[in-house]
Structure 1
Amino acid sequence: MARTPRSNSPRSNPSRSADPAHPDEAALRRFIRSQGPDYLRQPNVTSIGIGHKVTAGRDTGRLCVQFTVGRKLEPQSLEAERLESLPGSITIDGVEVPTDVLERRYSPAWRLVTPERMAKDVRKQRLDPVRPGCSIAHERGTAGTLGAIVYDLQDGSALGLSNWHVLHGPEGRIGDRIVQPGPFDNNRTERNGAGRLLRSHLGAAGDCAVVRLEERGIAPEIIGLDVAPRQVGQAELGDTVVKSGRTTGVTHGRVARIEVMVRLDYGGATGFRNIGGFEIGPDPRHPAADGEISMGGDSGSAWMASDARGRSTDVMLGLHFAGESDGQGSDHAIACQAHAALEKLEVSLDRPSAEAVRQASGLGFDPRFLEDEIALPKPGPTLAHDVLVLEDGETAVHHTHFSLSMSRARKLALWVAWNIDGRSLKGYGRKGLDFSNDPKVDDDHQTGDRLYANNRLDRGHLARRADLVWGPDAEAQAANRESFYFTNITPQHQGFNQSGAGGLWGQLEDAIMEETRIDRLRVSVVAGPLFEDEDPSYRGVQIPRAFWKIVACRDADRKNRLVARGFLLTQEDLLHRLEGLGLDEFRLYRVPVQEIGRRTGLDFGALRLADERDGGRRTRREAVGAGITEIRARADIPG
């Protein structure tokens, strides 16, 4: 999400007053959210929200609970029509809060003006690139407004933002075709395709939807405002705003009510729905033509915060979705809160980074799994030439709960990084799972099954299968399958992988989790083979004789400080007898993270600084062997 600044319209805010007689705005918001739906069940109530008390036509500046009704009736008429009267005040958190009752009716802003009233301007034409402020709709709809260009948090693709009732509607389905301009403005829908409906929402977060824009170019600047939405703000009473809609063009307004809940009839099987947002009234400094700040066809317009001169800023506050339906008196409009709509639709005003896309998709190593940022290992100058670059230009391959990078020369992983959530580990087994090539890496750049046939080499997991199998069932099952990709496998002698020293290498994470009071049982691990020029060659593959592992967690016994521990296990003597029956000894060592970095050519960043062994303070002049200790039994593994 984009950052959420406060809008900058000058005003005084009574809710901030220290006077205990003034209601607390947060308490009013809670009241509207919890009790608002009950009031909306009354047939005559069209909305409820927070506004300023109006007395004799004058804004008193005092916060109140403000109701709107279809008709204002005298008490005797209410009784005759079996309607409940609304209270004159409501006690909220011990403070008596006044109420207001205004006569307003709303409808989704899809009713269109007659053709003779429209100028055939650029907004109603077929555009390439498409721009916010133009006509857009479902191919079986009429016409609304494209509000903003946004970006999918799941894959980073460009999307168009508008209303549910513009892009989806009661008869629509996800995947339906969206056209620009809308059919009302150009009925040649067969040539006007702009994309497909991707996601939509109709409820408390608003009336909103996004289309994947696949058939045109895009330009994010709003027609008539010449500014692209870049930030998201939360509307407050008195904020000045401006929008650019398909029908009324550029109009100005002022936020009249916040935390509004409005009851609208969407027709068909959808019927009445309670939609959340805020209300905009006219801005007397910038009056609209005919007094109309919105009309049918403006649905989906972005309401932008404006400065003292009425110029649009790049801060988006809301998404227009409804207006007054009777056209009497001063015009008012309703908008979804922009931050709520964007969050619900899983989109952002800024194109997300590759890392943000990865996290949103649920794939790969999460660098903030332990709160402190733990970046993926970076190759130093001596290693950079050996890192495999993928077709998309990236060097990291992301799978469920783990990421890795490949060596071009060895066709094995340089490193694998993974997260372990000890509280949600699943007990899925490996039955029916076969080793296979990684679909994200070309077959020519990974070592497959031929190496392991008819010898004593094991297909050794770098990221342990059992470590990855956590989370929701579908996610855990995906991690279980993906752990068997050959990019996560290295050749290991049976004596290394299955026996000797009580299997200490595989027990490292288990031992640390049992012996250390780990915050929330969450652990991050980075591991890999240690490549050396002297590694023996077998069937055209140089077999690593040693492996390294770095285990990180937040240690509750050390005030939840991030700590990292490095280990090195060598099979240096085992591989002299690949075809023989004898097994030579191998050894497990505790080593400083900085020493692993020196041997591998990788920069471990925060993990080096979090190493309690050297605290990142070691220098190159110190002895290489300093801080290295051998682990002979599980009791030697540090807790």
Structure 2
Amino acid sequence: MIPGEREEDGSREERPPDGPIPHDHRIDVVKERFAARLMTYPNVTGVGVGLRMRAGRRLSEPCVRVFVSRKVPEAELRASDVLPRELEGVTVDVVEGEFTLLRNGAPPLPPERRRARHFPFAVPGTSVAGLRVTAGTLGAAVYDATGGGSQLLLSNWHVLCGVPECAAGEEIVQPGPFDGGTAPRDTVARLLRYADTDRVDAAVAVLDGNRFLSDAIAGIGLVSGVGAAGLGMRARKSGRTTGVTGGIIDAVGLDVTVGGRLFRGQFTVASEDGAPVVAGGDSGSLTVDDRNRAVGLLFAGRTDGAYWIANPIADVIAALGIRFTPDPLPLDAAVLLTAADS
């Protein structure tokens, strides 16, 4: 039986997800058709395609997911303010969730390596920021796909930049200023380009030659490639504040309000036991699946830390002109190397 299909008596099988859930494009269509209308209801913070929750348990039933800042009993609402239970045969599930960028108010760490200066290699998963920012996370080493193939440092726009007037060439320090980083002593890179749109909060910086950048992420290792987020998949990240944590991809195609701005097409990773998996300072962490493929760039989280939100990595790659592997060898060089090894 396909997870979530109907039993013979008409009831729906209720099982927790034990892996990726088959994609149902019909729900995508319904979500897109009604998202703008649902976002106008009181307290609604986001609308996407998610896994249904019942009595605190996550089920293997895809649905239209609606996040609200707080649930209000129907008796206290006007009839016109009550969210529908179903849309065109698709269940509408309501979950509390108010989201914020994970930079401002970054809590101090105990004296651990994640907020320390790393030399001669800067390490993804540790503290980094532009001089106008407190502290975020160095997400990953990537490579310039627009020409030259230079190694770049990847994080969020609001970690490496943070203000509309920032410009290419601004200094990036590791660790971030909140963790004691200063310029020029701790300068590791300079801002190259960024994307601050309704789909992507991301930026890259080019190394300034004072330090190397490790391709391996602290506690996770090397990125094996690029994948796509899907409901029911397990994912994890390595962040400046909470270290290596993980959860289940719980919503995709999410249109969500963060800090008063509407972001479109995002996905969430949810704690499987309700414990916090993210906190201030984790912004910029790379989200990877259980095969260590990059699937997203973390930029926000629920205020209680039980969810994080990520930009799909395909959108980040397209917006910044990057890849996760260096330039392939030219054919003649590859032939020469092969001949030398034989």
SS of 2:278's partner is coil
- CA distance in 1: counterparts of 2:251 and 2:65, whole angstroms: 8
Residues 264/124 of structure 1: CA separation in 2 closer, same or farther (3 Å cut):
same
The equivalent of 1:627 in structure 2 is: none
RMSD value over aligned CA atoms?
Answer: 2.5
Residues 150/34 of structure 1: CA separation in 2 closer, same or farther (3 Å cut):
farther
SS of 2:222's partner is coil
Runs of 4+ with deviation above 6 angstroms: none
Check the 8 A contact 2:30/2:87 in 1, yes or no. Answer: no
The equivalent of 1:131 in structure 2 is: 123
Whichever structure has more helix as a proportion of its residues is 1
Whether 1:220 and 2:198 are equivalent positions in the alignment is no
The equivalent of 2:85 in structure 1 is: 88
The equivalent of 1:318 in structure 2 is: 296
SS of 2:213's partner is coil
Q: Residues 46-57 of structure 1 correspond to what in structure 2 (within 5 A)? A: 46-57=45-56
The equivalent of 1:121 in structure 2 is: 112
- CA distance in 2: counterparts of 1:203 and 1:84, whole angstroms: 30
The Cα shift of 1:120 comes to 2.2
Residues 315/324 of structure 1: CA separation in 2 closer, same or farther (3 Å cut):
same
Q: Residues 103-182 of structure 1 correspond to what in structure 2 (within 5 A)? A: 103-115=96-108, 118-127=109-118, 128-155=120-147, 156-175=149-168, 176-182=170-176
SS of 1:86's partner is coil
Residues 38/171 of structure 1: CA separation in 2 closer, same or farther (3 Å cut):
same
The equivalent of 2:337 in structure 1 is: none
The Cα shift of 1:66 comes to 0.6
The equivalent of 2:262 in structure 1 is: 273
- CA distance in 2: counterparts of 1:202 and 1:90, whole angstroms: 33
SS of 2:77's partner is helix
- CA distance in 2: counterparts of 1:111 and 1:351, whole angstroms: 33
Residues 297/42 of structure 1: CA separation in 2 closer, same or farther (3 Å cut):
same
Query: Which has the bigger relative contact order, CA under 8 A and spacing at least 6?
Result: 2
Check the 8 A contact 1:206/1:276 in 2, yes or no. Answer: no
The equivalent of 2:306 in structure 1 is: 331
- CA distance in 2: counterparts of 1:347 and 1:33, whole angstroms: 29
Check the 8 A contact 2:173/2:181 in 1, yes or no. Answer: no
Q: Residues 238-253 of structure 1 correspond to what in structure 2 (within 5 A)? A: 238-253=232-247
* Equivalences, count: 312
- Indicate the percent of aligned positions where both proteins have the same amino acid: 34
- CA distance in 1: counterparts of 2:234 and 2:143, whole angstroms: 26
Q: Deviations over 1:65-111 (max 9, x none)?
A: 0101011113353339xx833221112xxxx1010011111101113
- CA distance in 1: counterparts of 2:322 and 2:240, whole angstroms: 23
Q: Residues 363-382 of structure 1 correspond to what in structure 2 (within 5 A)? A: none
SS of 1:190's partner is coil
The equivalent of 1:340 in structure 2 is: 315
The equivalent of 1:303 in structure 2 is: 287
The equivalent of 1:99 in structure 2 is: 92
Whether 1:202 and 2:233 are equivalent positions in the alignment is no
Check the 8 A contact 1:162/1:300 in 2, yes or no. Answer: yes
- CA distance in 2: counterparts of 1:70 and 1:145, whole angstroms: 27
Q: Larger Cα Rg: Structure 1 or Structure 2?
A: 1
The Cα shift of 1:33 comes to 4.5
- CA distance in 2: counterparts of 1:50 and 1:303, whole angstroms: 19
Residues 208/41 of structure 1: CA separation in 2 closer, same or farther (3 Å cut):
farther
Check the 8 A contact 1:255/1:280 in 2, yes or no. Answer: yes
Give the TM-score normalised by structure 1. Answer: 0.46
SS of 1:47's partner is strand
- CA distance in 1: counterparts of 2:292 and 2:113, whole angstroms: 22
The Cα shift of 1:35 comes to 4.4
Give the TM-score normalised by structure 2. Answer: 0.83
Check the 8 A contact 1:202/1:275 in 2, yes or no. Answer: no
Which residue type is aligned with residue 121 of structure 1? E
The equivalent of 1:232 in structure 2 is: 226
Which residue type is aligned with residue 276 of structure 1? G
Which residue type is aligned with residue 106 of structure 1? F
Question: Structure 1 stretches of 5 or more lacking a match?
Answer: 1-8, 16-24, 266-270, 307-312, 356-374, 379-639
The equivalent of 2:339 in structure 1 is: none
SS of 1:191's partner is coil
The Cα shift of 1:283 comes to 3.4
The Cα shift of 1:220 comes to 0.8
Could you tell me which of 311, 314, 325 is aligned with 1:350?
Answer: 325
SS of 1:65's partner is strand
Which residue type is aligned with residue 308 of structure 2? A
Check the 8 A contact 2:172/2:190 in 1, yes or no. Answer: yes
The Cα shift of 1:317 comes to 1.6
Which residue type is aligned with residue 38 of structure 2? Y
- CA distance in 1: counterparts of 2:137 and 2:165, whole angstroms: 17
The equivalent of 1:597 in structure 2 is: none
- CA distance in 2: counterparts of 1:319 and 1:281, whole angstroms: 15
- CA distance in 1: counterparts of 2:163 and 2:20, whole angstroms: 42
